[in-house]
Amino acid sequence: MATLLLQLYGPMQSWGTTSRYDERDTQLEPSKSGVIGLVCAALGRERESPVDDLAALRMGVRVDREGIVMRDYQTATGVAIASSGKADAGRTIVSPRYFLADAVFLVGLEGQHSLLDQIDQALRRPRWPLALGRKSFVPSKPVHLPGALLALPLVQALAVWPDLVDDTPADMSKRGVVEDASEGSVRMDQPIAAFAQRQFGPRFVKPVFFRPGGKHAPEQAAA
């Protein structure tokens, strides 16, 4: 197994997993569906294309800078009425949408080296524009990290990679979450079909603390 590391660095990011209808949420870390969607954009995969190979990758996140949860509002006019299915030209709705400001994440994808190498090459020269959860939320630094395809397991790769930000105290530990096969908190962001079908299933994630000097340990409450 190998691990490919990605840099998600931008002024605004949004990683919703439970959004329905008017209100759009965001998790405090990147969602797997969002990261796989970003990878699909880099590869040039259509929304109707299968994603089974990408969904099988194990994902982990190291939080290098916590984002500040913010909320904005968007309006839509001429919204369809559920009972009739017809648009009401005079009807306007307000849609609260949450996002993270100034967050920085190191994301790891663990799997077969050959597939990760394809993704690494695609991130170097993306076929389509990349976004951090929403099309308008563009990265302020490249997602691709040179030399970040490592012959290491997921958690070790996340632990040894240098900090992505310069303002982190040298003695400060970082939190993260890693995917687990059988236990942990449930996230409803596992792609189970092509993105055009908008079907997502559950996966488990467990918290991890990354200690200074490349050490890491599971959160005591989850041990």
Tens of pLDDT, residue by residue over 77-124, are: 655 555 555 555 556 777 778 889 999 999 999 999 999 999 999 999
Q: What integer pLDDT is reported at residue 97 of this predicted model?
A: 81
Whether 64 has a pLDDT exceeding 80, the answer reads yes
- CA 165-7-26 angle, to 5 degrees, is 95
The single residue listed with the structure tokens 């939320």 is: 137
* Side-chain-side CA neighbours of residue 132 (13 Å): 31
Whether 23 has a pLDDT exceeding 60, the answer reads yes
Cβ-proximal residues to 83 (8 Å cutoff; 6+ apart), any chain? none
Q: What's the pTM?
A: 0.85
pLDDT band at 22, cuts 50/70/90?
low
CATH fold for domain 2-71+99-222? Alpha-Beta Plaits (3.30.70)
